[in-house]
Every structure is written in structure tokens, then in C-alpha cells.
């Protein structure tokens, strides 16, 4: 999990796991979970860290010490103006043009607002940001985001924090097949390491996890489990998984194998 094997946003990274930093029981547990997972990218909400005052400064120092790539996000934004303003502040605070763009359109499902998302992406790409838009698996929205200048897309697996996994595998496979040259990262809804493996086996470039690690009984061990799962899923994709079929097929060839049959039973008198 440590050798550079992924180039994204102009950087070579050693892990395809992205880890969120919210909702951990303590800063120490967060630090240990990041280390155990091997994650090379962590997401940070500017609003959350700014609101926490001195605690936010301590958090930022801790992240810097870990040497991971920071991906600020615009969590909680509902308008283009909010998203663009937050992005500009994040670029200054975290010293990176990388940005996970969130523009929420529904309070219940936290589904991205497709129209405002595209508008905000256009504005931020013009301003020199490397935009990672949090979107749905919709092909039309994906095309508009790519036209806006996005080279990376982050389709959801399921609503944020739901732990449901990949609700629409067909659409996610279709998106992967349609845009083979675009970096695709499954974001939101991942609840178990098996969900991450499923996404990686489809050929997705990475997986973002937050709640499933932060709210685990042991976040450090769960972080390690997700790091291994993402690596295993990627290896399985590269190795070429066998195709499914309806009929059984013996794993041991039977051609030329002798068979011995017992004599038929004696007739009963």
C-alpha cells in the first residue's frame, strides 16, 4: 500500500483510499486511523475546522505532521456563491488548489444539486482549482462536469453516512465504461470493506470513506481493513476476475480420469 501506484491531480500516491476526518472520537484516534489505513488523501471541511477555533489549528498541525495530501471540501454549501467563497478560503488556508466540491440539493438524502454543481464547477475550474465534484452516477451530469473542466468525478454509492454500499451497481459500471480516461472515485454510502472491494473490482480508481471508519467500534482497525480492501480490490481488477455463468464447471478436469463403480447389489430374495 505504500509504493506509488496512482497518479491523480498531478501527484503520485501510494494508496487509493481517501479518508474523511469528521466524527472521530478524538484527534489521537483520527491520527492513528489515518496511519493504519495507509490513506494518502484526507478530506477536510473548512467550515468545521474554522468553527472549532483553537481546536481547528491543532487539527491542521496534526494533518501536516502526517504528510498526507489534503482535499478540502465545501460541505454544507447549498449555493454556487457559498461554494466558490468557501473554495477560495480553503485554497488559502490549506495551501492547495485541490477541492472536493459539494453543493447539496436535498436535505434528507444530501443528494448533490446537479445544476448548481455544474455551475460551481465551471466557475472553480476557470479559477484554477483541481475540482473533485461530489455527484450522482448520472451520465448526463457527468458529461456536463467533464465539459466544465473536471478531470475527476466522485459519484456516490449511496446517501452520505447511510452505509448502504453501492445502491446502483449497473449505473456505476456504465459510468466507468463510458469514461475510461476519467478518474472516478466512489464517495458516500460505503459502510463495509466489502463495499470498497466491490467498487474497486469495477475498475474505480479510488474510494472515499468517513463514517464507516470514524464510527466503528475500533476506528484504527477498521481503517486498516479499508486500506487492505481497497488494495485487494484494485489487484483483483488488474488480475481480471472470472466471468459469472449459469452452469457449474468442475475445477478439476475429468477427461481421462478412470472411474470405478461398485458392483450392483444382490437382488433380494
Residues labelled catalytic: 100
Beta strands in the chain (DSSP E): 6-8, 11-13, 17-20, 41-45, 69-73, 98-101, 130-135, 152-155, 183-187, 206-209
Closest CA relative to residue 91, chosen from 127, 55, 51, 56: 127
Place of cell 459539494: 102
How far is residue 29's CA from residue 78's CA, in Å, rounded to a whole number? Answer: 31
The backbone torsions φ and ψ at residue 47, rounded to the nearest 5 degrees and listed phi first, read -65, -45
Q: Which distant-in-sequence residues (6+ apart) come within 8 Å of 266 by Cβ?
A: none
- Asked if 175 contacts 142 with a C-beta cutoff of 8 angstroms, the reply is yes
How far is residue 224's CA from residue 226's CA, in Å, rounded to a whole number? Answer: 5
185 DSSP β-pair partners: 206
Amino acid at each position: 500500500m505504500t509504493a506509488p501506484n496512482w497518479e491523480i491531480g498531478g501527484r503520485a500516491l501510494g494508496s487509493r483510499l481517501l479518508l474523511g476526518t469528521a466524527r472521530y472520537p478524538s484527534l489521537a484516534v483520527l491520527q492513528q486511523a489515518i496511519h493504519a489505513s495507509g490513506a494518502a488523501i484526507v478530506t477536510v471541511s473548512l467550515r468545521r475546522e474554522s468553527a472549532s477555533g483553537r481546536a481547528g489549528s491543532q487539527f491542521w498541525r496534526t494533518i501536516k505532521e502526517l504528510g498526507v495530501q489534503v482535499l478540502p471540501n465545501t460541505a454544507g454549501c447549498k449555493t454556487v456563491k457559498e461554494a466558490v467563497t468557501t473554495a477560495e478560503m480553503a485554497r488559502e488556508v490549506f495551501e492547495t488548489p485541490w477541492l472536493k466540491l459539494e453543493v447539496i440539493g436535498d436535505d434528507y438524502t444530501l443528494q448533490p444539486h446537479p445544476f448548481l454543481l455544474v455551475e460551481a464547477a465551471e466557475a472553480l475550474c476557470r479559477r484554477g482549482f483541481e475540482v473533485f465534484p461530489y455527484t450522482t452516477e448520472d451520465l448526463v451530469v457527468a458529461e456536463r462536469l467533464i465539459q466544465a473542466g473536471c478531470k475527476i468525478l466522485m459519484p456516490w454509492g449511496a446517501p452520505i453516512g447511510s452505509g448502504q454500499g453501492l445502491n446502483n451497481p449497473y449505473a456505476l459500471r456504465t459510468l466507468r465504461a463510458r469514461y475510461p480516461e476519467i478518474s472516478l472515485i466512489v464517495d458516500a454510502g460505503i459502510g463495509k470493506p466489502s463495499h470498497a472491494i466491490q467498487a474497486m473490482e469495477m475498475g474505480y480508481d479510488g474510494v472515499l470513506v468517513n463514517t464507516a471508519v470514524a464510527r466503528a467500534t475500533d476506528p484504527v482497525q477498521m481503517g486498516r481493513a479499508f486500506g487492505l480492501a481497497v488494495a485487494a480490490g484494485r489487484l483483483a481488477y488488474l488480475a481480471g476476475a472470472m466471468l459469472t455463468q449459469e452452469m457449474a464447471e468442475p475445477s478439476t478436469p475429468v477427461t481421462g480420469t478412470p472411474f470405478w463403480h461398485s458392483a450392483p447389489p444382490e437382488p433380494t430374495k
